[in-house]
């Protein structure tokens, strides 16, 4: 079973992917699926299936953390 998804690729990468698939006698879909499978298989076994943990902010009972007006884009800058 396949799930349909949309991926935005830079123009040059799209053209290279399409050309590489054609040279190999396959479709872009087959090439992309194989590339993703290889990438996932390269993850060490001890890292597979592990959930990421996020830092928790523990507040005293009844208190709330107010993040109104916080600019999350600042975290990425």
Summarised one tens digit per residue, pLDDT across range 11-30 is: 999 999 999 999 999 999 99
d(CA 52, CA 67): 23
CA distances from 46 to 39, 40, 42, 43, 50 (A): 15, 13, 11, 8, 8
Measure the CA–CA gap between 3 and 10, rounded to whole angstroms: 22
Residue appearing with tokens 């992309």: 32
DSSP structural state of residue 46: T
Over residues 42-56, the mean pLDDT reads 70
Rounded to an integer, the average pLDDT of 45-53 is: 67
Place of tokens 């107010």: 66
pTM greater than 0.75: no
pLDDT score at 40: 86
Instruction: Say if residue 53's pLDDT is above 90.
Output: no
């Amino acid at each position: 079973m396949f799930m349909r998804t949309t991926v935005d690729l830079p123009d040059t990468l799209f053209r290279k992917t399409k050309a590489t698939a054609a040279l190999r006698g396959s479709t872009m879909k087959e090439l992309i699926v194989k590339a993703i499978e290889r990438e996932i298989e390269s993850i060490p076994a001890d890292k597979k299936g592990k959930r990421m943990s996020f830092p928790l902010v523990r507040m005293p009972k009844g208190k709330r953390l107010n993040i109104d007006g916080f600019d999350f884009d600042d975290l990425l800058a």
